[in-house]
Structures are given as structure tokens and as C-alpha cells.
Homo-oligomer: A and B are copies of this chain.
Amino acid sequence: MYTESVLPVLKNLQNQICAALEAQDGASVFEADQWQSALGSGESRVLKNGAVFEQAGVNFSHVKGSAMPAAATAHRPELAGAPFEAMGVSLVVHPKNPYVPTSHANVRFFIARPEGREPVWWFGGGFDLTPFYPYEADILHWHRTAAELCKPFGEDVYPEFKKWCDDYFYLKHRGETRGVGGLFFDDLNRWDFDTCLAFIKKVGEGYTDAYIPIAALRKNTVYGERERQFQLYRRGRYVEFNLVWDRGTLFGLQSGGRTESILMSMPPLVRFEYGYEPQEGSAEARLNGFLKPRDWLAEWPER
């Protein structure tokens, strides 16, 4: 059991999310790559050069191992050497229009089966938003969607996972959050299995509910070379976060994961510029005020 219940939920989420992004794009479609390796198998789907999405990558993967790696059992020594399975869906969307934010979501399941003991399982995941030119209405919609989906699972869930997201997606070397946050959680087994699985499903569906309306609202906003250049520059921060700080990316690359699938999160085009500072008072400078943990729903309760 367990994995048989999780697998269809994850595969459905991959299908639903791809369908929603394709419908919103209206021009390009996803191409799928099924892969197998010594560690397991998966399906990477990528949409390139769309009308709305410059690139979107939606990965499913399912890997198995005969013995938990030491790094993964530091705080669970009883699992050292146990056989395990990990599966998940992970996605990053890089829109074309700089007024549409970049978005990321992930849901994952992990189970270890130590000999002569009950299996130990947990879930992880979340979604987070990275605007270039932030709109308060978009951020509110994003966080309201997150808060609403969490509510049936307890009043404390959203605040806790919202804070976790701010803490996780943080570029320490810049003193900036990656964006305006959302939800992040790991080691989730506080409820029974079915409840945890139901939560994961809500998170996956909530991503589409949260993101698609924002993409729809902003995709036709007129922009020029200035906004494009700022978008390319800010994408550099995404690269910095993913390659320097993201534990999933680093663990994957250093442990023999499938490089192309892991690095599907990289933006298609990126610009780096030494010493760049946006002009004071400009639309670009305004972004800085959004790159720190803020309690959006409390700050703007009436809007």
C-alpha cells in the first residue's frame, strides 16, 4: 500500500497542471520524455517557446534505493540503511511577459521500510511565486488560495507553512527572499496517511488555482526592452538560489540524479550584471520591498 495510493494522485496532478498551462498558453504544448536510470524512472515534460510561457517544465519521478543514504538519515538514525522509495512532481514556469511572475510547485512522498519494523513515510511540497513587477492583487490572490486550501487541515497550517516557505526560499548571500513566498513543508506525517495525501492533492490543485488567474490577468500587459532586461537580470537570482541553496537540486546533482530533469528549473535565458542597482524610485527598485517575509493577508486585509 502507500505508494499505490500516492502514484495516481501525482500522475493526475502532472496531467492536470500540464493541461491548465497548455490551455493558458494557447500556442505551445508539452513534449514528454520518459526516462529510466539505475535509480528509477520518470517523465519530464517541457513546453518551450510558448505564447505565454517561455518555458515550463513539469517533472514526475519515482526512484528507489536499497539503502537510505547517510545524508538523509541524520535526524532519523533508525532508518540508516533501510530500503526506500521517493516520488514527486516538481515544476517551474518561466513566463515570457515580465509582468507575469515565475512560479514553482512541488509535491513529494518518501517512504522507508526498515527491516522488521513498520514503514516510515512522509510528504513534502509547496508552491511559491517570484514576481518581477509585483501586483498586490496577485500576491493576495496567491496567498489567499494557499490559506484557503490549508484551512480544513487546521488554522495553524497556513501560517506555519507560509513561514517555512519564507525561511527556505531565502538567498542568504543577497539578504533577499526568492520571491513573495507561498507554502513549504517537509516531514509531513502529523495527520493520518489519507489526510496527508488529501492535503498534497489540495496543494497540487491549489497551485493551478493560484497561478493560472495571475498569468491570465498579466499576460497581455504591454512591456518593452527595459522590463525584459530586468526580467532576465532577476532570473539570475533564481539560478543562484537553485544552484547554491536548494537542497533538492544540490542533492540530485551530487548523488547522480538525472541532470536534465533537475536543471529543467533553469530559466531559458539569464543575464548577470556586476554591480547592478535599480534606479531609486523606479518600478524595478520597488521589487526590493517585496523580497522579505511579510504577512500579506494581514497587511492588506480589505482588498
| A271 CB, min distance to chain B CBs, angstroms | 5
CA–CA, A267 to B268, complex, Å?
14
The 8 Å CB contact of A273, one of B44, B250, B268, is B268
CA–CA, A244 to B275, complex, Å?
22
Instruction: Type the 1/0 row for A259-277, where 1 means its CB is closer than 8 Å to any CB of B.
Output: 1101110111111111100
CA–CA, A192 to B232, complex, Å?
49
| A28 CB, min distance to chain B CBs, angstroms | 13
| A57 CB, min distance to chain B CBs, angstroms | 6
Give the chain B neighbours of A173 by CB distance below 8 A.
253-254, 256-257, 259, 262
| A27 CB, min distance to chain B CBs, angstroms | 18
Residue A46, interface by CB 8 Å: yes
Chain A residues within 8 Å of chain B by Cβ, number = 35
| A25 CB, min distance to chain B CBs, angstroms | 16
Instruction: Type the 1/0 row for A236-248, where 1 means its CB is closer than 8 Å to any CB of B.
Output: 1001100110000
Across the interface, name the chain B residue whose C-beta is closest to A44: B274
Give the chain B neighbours of A257 by CB distance below 8 A.
173
CA–CA, A48 to B57, complex, Å?
33
Can you tell how many copies of this chain the complex includes? Answer: 2
CA–CA, A33 to B216, complex, Å?
43
**A244-302 interface with B by 8 A CB criterion:** 244, 250, 253-254, 256-257, 259-260, 262-264, 266-275
Whether A274 touches B270, Cβ cut-off 8 Å, given contacts A239-B239, A243-B240, A254-B172, is no
| A245 CB, min distance to chain B CBs, angstroms | 9
Q: Using a CB–CB distance below 8 Å, which chain A residues touch chain B? A: 33, 44, 46, 48, 55, 57, 172-174, 232, 236, 239-240, 243-244, 250, 253-254, 256-257, 259-260, 262-264, 266-275
The 10 tightest CB contacts between A and B, nearest first, are A243-B243, A266-B272, A173-B253, A270-B270, A46-B274, A173-B259, A264-B274, A243-B244, A269-B271, A260-B275
Contacts A46-B274, A174-B259, A268-B272 known; list 16 others, CB within 8 Å.
A33-B275, A46-B275, A172-B253, A172-B254, A173-B253, A173-B254, A173-B257, A239-B243, A239-B270, A240-B263, A243-B244, A244-B250, A263-B274, A268-B273, A269-B269, A270-B272
